[in-house]
Chains A and B, each alone.
Chain A
């Protein structure tokens, strides 16, 4: 059953368009993550679903009811803010009860809801404290508790972990994942700029860039089959290497010749008219391997070595003139000298192929 649906939704401030023609169907029980670089419109989109920003074009429906003009409180949503947004003059209990009190719910019902949320989030000892007497992690749990008490159809999370330190962020991330599991019927929409959060939490990820949706898909789908060079480079760290090449042979698999390297055959279909076309060959740093010169398709000079123990990241001088350095991430410890020329290879099925327009050959019909 569709929980939240966006049809042709757009947003502009005056003449500036910040979101264009967003189409998205979110099923009940999903945990959808909006991810993208800052300024991509992901927070604006979330706030439009919440009703904190007006929708300037298109339709938003929640449980098949059009919600464009409904005030936030009547949309059946709850929101967890990055800065927690706890009411500083109210105790934890009053913070969680505020919404139900505004709605004039009976006291017994409010108490039960608050007690339930406090139990789930282990906040019982802190119910009578003011927010300033809590740690950052506890405050974030209160903010989540406040959302649970509202018993919403859709939970909205706006970068809820950004204000926590690294260790707490991991712990809270796991708590959110467990919370989702304990509430399989709830729909959650989660905004983050952190791809690790996106990969670990999401049932589906929506990658946004410059006001457009670049790709929607399950985390590993985005990793393995990125739709375009933007998604390819945004998901995964370090980012995917892109090498200039041209098609030399088309068919069920495609052979390309690197502008500065050898030939390689990729098991991705291409059309006859692609012959001679400029393309970009994508290969993730972790998919590159050291190979004997004859088995390799690429030669590069080592510039910087980062030995991390479990992996070694090697930065090479750019292969194509004027582009980013080529990066390889090799498991284990590799003793290589700076300036050494290394031969590199990768398994053909790990390679990606993008046209000049940046779109993946995989998704061409």
Chain B
């Protein structure tokens, strides 16, 4: 309790400091360049030149320290040894290229990149279309959307329970194995099946992200001019044709946005693998591999190099996003 009060106090202090900074900074600015007197014109102009930077200041400092500086620092670190003291040239990179763990992570990451965005967008689109047409659609949406609020670790617990395995002679308490046994199959240790276990981990992320895709695509579908659909009805198109030929083509832009957003998330996926398998049984991914080298391998150089690989994979999307944003502005 005491600790929580401490947290509230520091929150108040933090907010207070912000308010004081912005209000005080503004007051000082008004004092230096008063908006009255003989120099009123130039003073106002000068104050208006300074004020944006006053407002932006804290944000710029934080962004620089927490996001911009680390990118460059990681680049430097990738040329250094484990404790970041000895320069090792490109040896981290040559190690990486030859490392089987890295190959496995890359292969799995590519699998994730193909399967998860595709499946989540697909299910999201289906869910959006179907729920838009029925009375209890909003309740259904809310339930499909719900996993979004659950942490990756929480989701891992939920799904590990689904994938649980018991020996063949007792009742299965994992839902999946119970179904398999009921259908006459043999129970499997799903998350330890080489290669296929990747898909069982992906299901968790798909389960979480479908709701996101559904919400965004549903809004886009509703934004389609009703007249185009009505025109298609008059032209004799059936519901499937309307969906595929009239609606989907009109929301390609949104589908792309959903796809890329999930792609970014997939590149950073870490918690699920850590909690479910910790990279065993051939399920390693880059983000977890990086974490592994950071905390268990205690090699900052190699770890930074792996992080840079993730960064490089994000760059195309970053550029695309910036270009889209500039188009709007």
CA A68 – CA B41 in complex, angstroms?
8
Q: What are 11 A-B contacts with C-beta separation under 8 Å? A: A68-B41, A69-B40, A69-B41, A69-B42, A69-B44, A69-B45, A70-B40, A70-B41, A71-B35, A71-B44, A74-B35
CA A71 – CA B45 in complex, angstroms?
10
List residues 12-42 of chain B with CB under 8 A from any CB of chain A.
35, 40-42
CA A54 – CA B4 in complex, angstroms?
52
CA A70 – CA B41 in complex, angstroms?
6
CA A69 – CA B35 in complex, angstroms?
10
CA A69 – CA B44 in complex, angstroms?
8
CA A74 – CA B44 in complex, angstroms?
12
A interface footprint on B31-64 (CB within 8 Å = 1, 0 otherwise): 0000100001110110000000000000000000
Residues of chain B with a CB closer than 8 A to A74's CB: 35
Which B residues have a C-beta under 8 Å from some C-beta of A? 35, 40-42, 44-45
A260 CB, nearest partner CB in chain B, Å: 47
Residues of chain B with a CB closer than 8 A to A70's CB: 40-41
Closest 6 CB pairs of A and B: A69-B41, A71-B44, A71-B35, A69-B40, A70-B40, A69-B44
CA A71 – CA B42 in complex, angstroms?
11
Q: Please count the residue pairs between chain A and chain B whose beta carbons lie under 8 angstroms apart in the complex.
A: 11
List residues 47-85 of chain A with CB under 8 A from any CB of chain B.
68-71, 74
List residues 201-218 of chain A with CB under 8 A from any CB of chain B.
none
Which A residues have a C-beta under 8 Å from some C-beta of B? 68-71, 74
Residues of chain B with a CB closer than 8 A to A71's CB: 35, 44
CA A98 – CA B42 in complex, angstroms?
27
B252 CB, nearest partner CB in chain A, Å: 34
Residues of chain B with a CB closer than 8 A to A68's CB: 41
What residue of chain B has the Cβ atom nearest to residue A70's Cβ?
B40
What residue of chain A has the Cβ atom nearest to residue B48's Cβ?
A71
Residues of chain B with a CB closer than 8 A to A69's CB: 40-42, 44-45
CA A71 – CA B43 in complex, angstroms?
11
CA A245 – CA B34 in complex, angstroms?
64
Residues of chain A with a CB closer than 8 A to B42's CB: 69
CA A138 – CA B272 in complex, angstroms?
58
What residue of chain A has the Cβ atom nearest to residue B36's Cβ?
A74
CA A74 – CA B45 in complex, angstroms?
15
CA A296 – CA B35 in complex, angstroms?
69
Residues of chain A with a CB closer than 8 A to B41's CB: 68-70
CA A71 – CA B36 in complex, angstroms?
10
Residues of chain A with a CB closer than 8 A to B44's CB: 69, 71
A270 CB, nearest partner CB in chain B, Å: 51
CA A74 – CA B34 in complex, angstroms?
13
A51 CB, nearest partner CB in chain B, Å: 10
Residues of chain A with a CB closer than 8 A to B35's CB: 71, 74
A sample of 8 more A-B contacts (CB under 8 A), given A68-B41, A69-B40, A69-B45, is A69-B41, A69-B42, A69-B44, A70-B40, A70-B41, A71-B35, A71-B44, A74-B35
CA A96 – CA B307 in complex, angstroms?
57
B75 CB, nearest partner CB in chain A, Å: 39
Most B CB atoms within 10 A — which of A68, A69, A70? Answer: A69
A27 CB, nearest partner CB in chain B, Å: 27
CA A169 – CA B45 in complex, angstroms?
40
CA A74 – CA B35 in complex, angstroms?
10
CA A159 – CA B40 in complex, angstroms?
31
B211 CB, nearest partner CB in chain A, Å: 32
What residue of chain A has the Cβ atom nearest to residue B39's Cβ?
A69
What residue of chain A has the Cβ atom nearest to residue B44's Cβ?
A71
CA A352 – CA B44 in complex, angstroms?
51
CA A69 – CA B41 in complex, angstroms?
5
Most A CB atoms within 10 A — which of B41, B42, B45? Answer: B41
A61 CB, nearest partner CB in chain B, Å: 14
CA A74 – CA B41 in complex, angstroms?
12
B37 CB, nearest partner CB in chain A, Å: 12
CA A26 – CA B40 in complex, angstroms?
25
B284 CB, nearest partner CB in chain A, Å: 52
What residue of chain B has the Cβ atom nearest to residue A54's Cβ?
B45
A201 CB, nearest partner CB in chain B, Å: 34
B40 CB, nearest partner CB in chain A, Å: 6
B39 CB, nearest partner CB in chain A, Å: 10
A55 CB, nearest partner CB in chain B, Å: 11
CA A209 – CA B237 in complex, angstroms?
51
A236 CB, nearest partner CB in chain B, Å: 39
B260 CB, nearest partner CB in chain A, Å: 35
A349 CB, nearest partner CB in chain B, Å: 53
A58 CB, nearest partner CB in chain B, Å: 15
B46 CB, nearest partner CB in chain A, Å: 12
What residue of chain B has the Cβ atom nearest to residue A69's Cβ?
B41
CA A309 – CA B42 in complex, angstroms?
63
CA A74 – CA B40 in complex, angstroms?
11
CA A68 – CA B35 in complex, angstroms?
14
Residues of chain A with a CB closer than 8 A to B45's CB: 69
A75 CB, nearest partner CB in chain B, Å: 12
